[in-house]
């Protein structure tokens, strides 16, 4: 897929300011990983009078299949296309729109600290998309873009130039020109209307797509004559989502006659955008969930197993109810960093008496770990090779046997929601595996049964109705009788490991 954005300039306002607005230097060819392949940004020409930025998206068809994309999910009409041989690598689609929003995110918001006045000014713009699926033909392309201030050229692409009698394909070669739009407005138009013309989304369409549509459509979609068609196609004809979006757009339209209402809506949208731009990091959500679970368990003496650089230990120290906190890690370097983070050398005597950092491996039993109320394994198990898990299991559940054990690990099903995560990749280079909810649940229930624990599962982060939460947490509680079923087998496996 290929798209170019061009502008012209003068010595006073050089065209190369486009590089500042896009936050991509004209002298560099840059590559960005996406969940569909690799996005390249390059400048075929860059001088004072004319500057052109190109976005080339190399789509990996095999990765699309692995990630469950490219199959017309969410009601897309191209579901009958072969999974591996299709037009996705060559024709602009929702995948290119996602790449635009990812690679040019600041430009799409109109943010440019070095050239703020240029970001707010209309530019002489020319956008070219050599191959664009247009379900509705050139006439629909003009109906979508012309009301927004674009001069439109949409030339049909012949099925085969050697056989003109075969007629035209469903693709057009698109050229858009305007001197009345800012770059941010142009990018938002493309973000919405490229997938609308393709009439397909190549990833699962969830309720957050409504918010994306309304943010990108702010200022132009409520009054667009093709508002209903745009909304329906952008949301993959999911009628519940379409109805929700149309109702919100109608509220905006009705408020336009009331300046105070418009200001209130603008403020709400700005607050929503700011909240999305600065979401609470998953690591913070995970620590909050762990602290809440420990609090619910009544634990006061806590082990942080695989404590790393001490972030969780630091959070636990802020809670007076935890009277003893032990962080254990196999890496002395990590423990040194944790010690500096906690400022152990400057900590008061009373506070220092609450915390210890120990070097040790979870592959072996350790008498120092016995007798604690709770143990936490936060993002630890996925760093072990699968054959080593029985050893960890026995060391924690069989030998140390705290009353409560918390285990968190990534939910691999949620990886499709990370647009910046390359297809087929795990979240961290050191992860040996990442489990689905079913796989994690099967392992946790088996561990609980072997060692006399009950287990329940708690989502951490936004619980997506389709793919679950980004992090899954198992809360193990020791049964009053502490009955074990197959400890002997597990101990043998642990020793073998």
> Quick one: 287 and 179 in the same domain?
no
- The model's confidence at residue 70, banded by pLDDT at 50, 70 and 90, is very low
> Quick one: 298 and 193 in the same domain?
no
- The model's confidence at residue 182, banded by pLDDT at 50, 70 and 90, is very high
Given this model, what pLDDT does residue 415 score? Answer: 87
Given this model, what pLDDT does residue 158 score? Answer: 85
> Quick one: 303 and 415 in the same domain?
yes
Number of domains in the chain: 2
* 358 pLDDT more than 70: yes
* 453 pLDDT more than 50: yes
Is 218 within the bounds of a domain? no
CATH number of the domain where residue 153 is located: 3.30.1610.20
Q: To 10 degrees, the CA torsion angle through 10, 43, 180, 262?
A: -130
> Quick one: 286 and 164 in the same domain?
no
> Quick one: 291 and 199 in the same domain?
no
Beta strands 404-410 and 123-133, pairing class: unpaired
> Helix or strand or coil: residue 467?
coil
350 in Cβ contact with 332 (< 8 Å): no
In angstroms, the CA 221 to CA 272 distance is 18
Is 439 within the bounds of a domain? yes
Task: Give φ, ψ of 239 to 5 degrees.
Answer: -65, -35
Average pLDDT over residues 223-230: 93
| Domain final residue pick, 204, 219, 241 | 204
DSSP H or E segment with residue 475: strand 471-478
Is 234 within the bounds of a domain? no
Lowest-confidence range among 90-94, 121-125, 383-387?
90-94
Average pLDDT over residues 375-380: 96
Q: Within 10 A of 300 (CB to CB), how many other CB atoms are there? A: 16
Is 438 within the bounds of a domain? yes
Is 341 within the bounds of a domain? yes
- pLDDT tens digits, 457-486: 999 999 988 889 999 999 999 998 755 655
Given this model, what pLDDT does residue 198 score? Answer: 86
Is 253 within the bounds of a domain? no
> Quick one: 155 and 289 in the same domain?
no
Q: Pick the residue with more confidence: 82 or 252?
A: 252
> Quick one: 418 and 311 in the same domain?
yes
Query: Mean pLDDT score of the chain, rounded to an integer?
Result: 85
Is 319 within the bounds of a domain? yes
Given this model, what pLDDT does residue 150 score? Answer: 95
Q: 477 forms bridges with which residues in the sheet?
A: 404, 454
| Domain final residue pick, 159, 174, 204 | 204
Tokens 């068609």 belong to which residue? 229
Average pLDDT over residues 438-456: 96
> Quick one: 199 and 289 in the same domain?
no
Cα 443 from chain centroid (whole Å): 26
Q: Which domain holds residue 387?
A: 282-496
Sheet holding 123-133, edge to edge: 30-34, 37-46, 50-59, 2-8, 123-133, 168-181, 151-158
> Quick one: 185 and 315 in the same domain?
no
> Quick one: 297 and 172 in the same domain?
no
| Domain final residue pick, 204, 235, 270 | 204
Tokens of 107: 């430009």
Cα–Cα–Cα angle for 25, 104, 425, rounded to 5 degrees? 100
* 497 pLDDT more than 90: no
Lowest-confidence range among 67-81, 133-147, 200-214?
67-81
> Quick one: 199 and 304 in the same domain?
no
> Quick one: 63 and 198 in the same domain?
yes
CATH number of the domain where residue 368 is located: 3.40.50.150
Is 262 within the bounds of a domain? no
């Amino acid at each position: 897929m290929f798209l170019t954005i061009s502008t012209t300039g003068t010595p006073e306002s050089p065209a190369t300011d486009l590089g500042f607005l896009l936050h991509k230097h004209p002298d560099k060819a840059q590559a960005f990983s996406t969940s569909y392949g690799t996005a390249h940004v390059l400048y075929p020409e860059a001088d004072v009078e004319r500057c052109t930025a190109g976005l080339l998206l190399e789509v990996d068809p095999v990765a699309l299949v692995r990630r469950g994309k490219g199959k017309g999910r969410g009601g897309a009409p191209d579901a009958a296309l072969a999974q591996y041989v299709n037009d996705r690598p060559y024709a602009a689609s929702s995948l290119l729109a996602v790449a635009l929003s990812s690679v040019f995110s600041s430009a799409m918001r109109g943010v440019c600290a070095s050239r703020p006045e240029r970001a707010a000014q209309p530019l002489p713009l020319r956008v070219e998309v050599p191959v664009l699926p247009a379900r509705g033909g050139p006439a629909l392309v003009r109906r979508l873009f012309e009301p927004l201030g674009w001069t439109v050229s949409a030339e049909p692409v012949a099925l085969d130039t050697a056989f003109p009698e075969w007629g035209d394909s469903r693709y057009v070669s698109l050229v858009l020109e305007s001197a009345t739009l800012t770059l941010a407005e142009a990018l938002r138009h493309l973000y919405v209307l490229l997938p609308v013309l393709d009439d397909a989304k190549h990833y699962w369409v969830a309720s957050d797509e409504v918010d994306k549509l309304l943010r990108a459509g702010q200022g132009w979609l409520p009054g667009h004559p093709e508002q209903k068609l745009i909304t329906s196609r952008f949301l993959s004809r999911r009628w519940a989502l379409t109805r929700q979006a149309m109702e919100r757009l109608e509220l905006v339209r009705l408020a336009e006659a009331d300046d105070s209402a418009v200001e209130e809506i603008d403020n709400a949208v700005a607050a929503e955008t700011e909240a999305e731009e600065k979401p609470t990091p998953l690591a913070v959500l995970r620590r909050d969930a762990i602290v809440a679970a420990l609090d619910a368990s009544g634990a006061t003496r806590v082990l942080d197993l695989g404590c790393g650089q001490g972030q969780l230990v630091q959070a636990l120290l802020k809670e007076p109810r935890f009277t003893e906190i032990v962080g254990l890690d196999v890496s002395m370097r990590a423990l040194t960093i944790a010690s500096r983070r906690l400022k152990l050398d400057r900590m008061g005597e009373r506070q220092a008496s609450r915390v210890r950092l120990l070097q040790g491996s979870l592959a072996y039993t350790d008498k120092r770990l016995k007798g604690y109320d709770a143990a936490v394994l936060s993002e630890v198990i996925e760093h072990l090779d699968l054959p080593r898990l029985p050893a960890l299991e026995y060391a924690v559940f069989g030998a140390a046997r705290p009353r409560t054990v918390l285990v968190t690990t990534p939910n691999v099903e949620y990886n499709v929601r990370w647009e910046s995560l390359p297809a087929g990749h795990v979240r961290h280079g050191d992860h040996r595996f990442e489990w689905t909810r079913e796989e994690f649940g099967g392992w946790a229930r088996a561990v609980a049964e072997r060692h006399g624990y009950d287990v329940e599962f708690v989502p951490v982060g936004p619980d997506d109705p389709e793919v679950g939460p980004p992090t899954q947490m198992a809360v193990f509680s020791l049964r009053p009788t502490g009955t074990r079923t197959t400890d002997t087998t597990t101990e043998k496996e642990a020793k073998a490991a």
